[in-house]
Structure 1
Amino acid sequence: MLRVSLIQLYKLLLEAYGYQNWWPVDEDYHKLRGTDPREEIIIGAILTQNTAWKNVEKSLENLKKEGELSLRFIRKAKIEEIYRLIRPSGFYRLKAERLKHVAEFFNPVDVIQSVSRQELLKVKGIGKETADAILLYAGNRLSFVVDAYTLRLFKRIYRLEGSYDSIKAYIENNIPKDLIIYKEFHALIDVHAKTYCRSTPRCGECFLKSYCLSAIPFS
């Protein structure tokens, strides 16, 4: 039996950290350029694969300053130019190829409103986590994102383990079908995992230690 429900966990995290307002986009840039902020989310979802967000931000800034932060630019630009602009994100050759595939798929970007998760997973370079991030944050659709931080936190608090899809289904079956909760819960989990529930956890300082089945005393 769980010592704290998922919605209680969400409320505890929200009280501690406040609303995160993910996914971060540069609304002013898109208003000025007439580009679509959903495309920034899609691009960012590819770039953040296997790297820290601070590296993604450098690539996004390069695209804004030297190209355009849009899928239109990704489609038209030579791949060598994309290599150069997204280099800070790492794996830049692979990610440039993935961006090309994704940019062709989301042409127009309104495809995001009707595409199924299964269809997205057939696009080269889009795995489960990336598909869910695109659906949730770019499409405003109820598809919870399970990342490494989620798996770590749930394993420690609940001793809950399983496949990506089983953890995703468990979360979705135990929280309200609410877009804000889906977005914020994922963001809050990431913040908490980076702050306390690290690879080497800071259990002694963690405000969730009394609920956690794996808390290490005085760590």
Structure 2
Amino acid sequence: MKRIENLYNELIKIYGDVGKWWPGTPEEIFVTAILTQNTNWKNVEKALKNIYKLTNPHDILKDLHKLSKEEIAKLIKPAGFFNIKADRLKNLLNFLAHYNFEVEKLKKYETYDLRKELLNIKGIGKETADSILLYALNKPILVVDTYTKRILERMYGIKENDYEKVQSIFHESYPRKTKLFQQLHGLIVEHAKAVCRKKPLCNQCKLSQKCFFKSS
């Protein structure tokens, strides 16, 4: 099997250093991890613009917690599914209230203990929980999304839908380093959006390895 360990170096040669990739303060990322569900980033930015008429990136958690779900829903309407997301966001904010919204305090806890707590919050799935862990709390865990599965299948011939199994393939192939996983996730998303789309632009792909993709 082709070595997945080469993917990071291949992608960074093409796209360069993407840094942390997910923008915002740690407090802001808790919110955008919910807002970005089933929508694009432009819509998230529109919702944030509404939110920042009342607060700022550092006080966003405690200030949103003071609002009712109905008030939150009005603010985040541009992000779509606003009633559902307001409910999920309120659940997350209630959880964070137990820690007095102190992100640094959360960072001291073990990764999988935090993950278990996040997954117990109604409306928080694995991808959202891991996005919070990786980008807001700087925990070394890879976020698995549609793009990750797509590139794993097309580049390496591995068709796997189970979240943990896909994640373990990458965890076993790379050292568990936060910055590396932040970059790798960002690079995979950048490549999937630019070239390896649902209908891929194979003639523009600069990856050296042979692709297993076959158009139907």
TM-score (norm 1): 0.87
Secondary structure of 1:167 counterpart: helix
For 1:113 and 1:98, locate their aligned partners in 2 and report how far apart those are by CA, in whole Å: 24
Larger relative contact order, structure 1 or 2 (CA cutoff 8 Å, min sep 6):
2
For 1:45 and 1:159, locate their aligned partners in 2 and report how far apart those are by CA, in whole Å: 30
For 2:51 and 2:28, locate their aligned partners in 1 and report how far apart those are by CA, in whole Å: 10
Instruction: Give 1:101's match in structure 2, choosing from 76, 80, 91.
Output: 91
1:42 has 2:33 as partner: no
Structure 2 unaligned segments of length 5 or more: list them: none
Secondary structure of 2:121 counterpart: coil
Instruction: Give 1:74's match in structure 2, choosing from 64, 84, 87.
Output: 64
1:152 has 2:141 as partner: no
For 1:132 and 1:164, locate their aligned partners in 2 and report how far apart those are by CA, in whole Å: 11
Q: Which residue of 2 aligns with 1:176?
A: 175
Q: Which residue of 1 aligns with 2:45?
A: 57
Instruction: Give 1:111's match in structure 2, choosing from 103, 106, 114.
Output: 106
CA RMSD of aligned residues (A): 1.6
For 1:196 and 1:209, locate their aligned partners in 2 and report how far apart those are by CA, in whole Å: 14
Length, aligned pairs only = 203
% same residue: 43
Q: Deviations over 1:32-64 (max 9, x none)?
A: xxxxx2110110101111111111111112111
Q: Give how far 1:215 is off.
A: 6.2
For 1:140 and 1:166, locate their aligned partners in 2 and report how far apart those are by CA, in whole Å: 22
For 1:180 and 1:215, locate their aligned partners in 2 and report how far apart those are by CA, in whole Å: 33
Q: Give how far 1:8 is off.
A: 1.4
Deviates more, 1:67-76 or 1:121-130: 67-76
Q: Give how far 1:176 is off.
A: 1.6
Q: Which residue of 2 aligns with 1:121?
A: 119
TM-score (norm 2): 0.88
1:202 has 2:201 as partner: yes
Secondary structure of 2:186 counterpart: helix
Q: Deviations over 1:71-103 (max 9, x none)?
A: 111210122221111111100000001111101
For 2:15 and 2:130, locate their aligned partners in 1 and report how far apart those are by CA, in whole Å: 23
For 2:56 and 2:179, locate their aligned partners in 1 and report how far apart those are by CA, in whole Å: 29
For 2:4 and 2:17, locate their aligned partners in 1 and report how far apart those are by CA, in whole Å: 17
Q: Deviations over 1:135-180 (max 9, x none)?
A: 1111111111000111111111112122011000110110122211
